[in-house]
Amino acid sequence: MANPWHHALSSARRFGGVADDYLALHSWFDESKLITADFRHRALRHHAEGIFMAERFFGTTITVSTGRKVPVRLIGEQHVIEDLGFIPSFADWVRCIRPEPWMGRAQPLHRTVEPVPDVPVAIPIAAERRNDGKTAMERQDGSGDPDDTRQDRQCTAAE
């Protein structure tokens, strides 16, 4: 695995200046080694979106010690190509992640954070009456609330 210093030496040779001109940018790309110190760290910044992210952090260009302005995107592309041989998309990395059951176990947050009304919500009775004069609550045949159809109950039970 390449070290940011070696990437910086390569940049100095390619674009001019000295390695120290490029070290901060290459260190940023490899900063994710703090999280996982193997090749998987590259999934966080070693892709096309990561290169554009570097521009947001460092600006469109950096000025090296010779006074030359070098596009940050070119330096980022060089870093990623040196490490991977090409520039993948973030989607390329994500496709290679094997989903685990815990990754999809999101809890319904709205149930814990939305305020619960202190009083029951009143349902307009007149809007629920049908020709027989009974409300959905009074009917026992299952033909009550139009939103509570048998099909909906089956879907809910199957879930």
Q: What is the pLDDT of residues 78-113, one digit of tens each?
A: 999 999 999 999 999 999 988 888 888 777 777 777
pLDDT of res. 37: 86
Residue 4: how many other CB atoms lie within 10 Å: 20
Q: Does 49 have pLDDT greater than 80?
A: yes
SS3 71: strand
What mean pLDDT comes out for the span 153-159?
A: 37
pLDDT of res. 153: 39
Residue 65: how many other CB atoms lie within 10 Å: 11
Confirm if 89 and 49 have CB atoms less than 8 A apart: yes
Q: Does 148 have pLDDT greater than 50?
A: no
Q: How confident is the model at residue 152 (pLDDT cuts 50, 70, 90)?
A: very low
Q: Does 139 have pLDDT greater than 60?
A: no
- Residue bearing the bigger pLDDT, 118 or 96: 96
- What share of the chain has pLDDT > 90, as a percent? 55
Sort residue 74 into left (φ over 0), alpha (ψ -120 to 50) or beta.
alpha
User: Which of 53, 72, 51, 50 is CA-nearest to residue 61?
Assistant: 72
Total count of residues recorded for the chain:
159
Name the least confident of 38-42, 51-55, 134-138, 141-145.
141-145
Say how far apart CA 37 and CA 66 lie, in whole Å.
34
CA angle 22, 8, 20 (to 5 degrees): 50
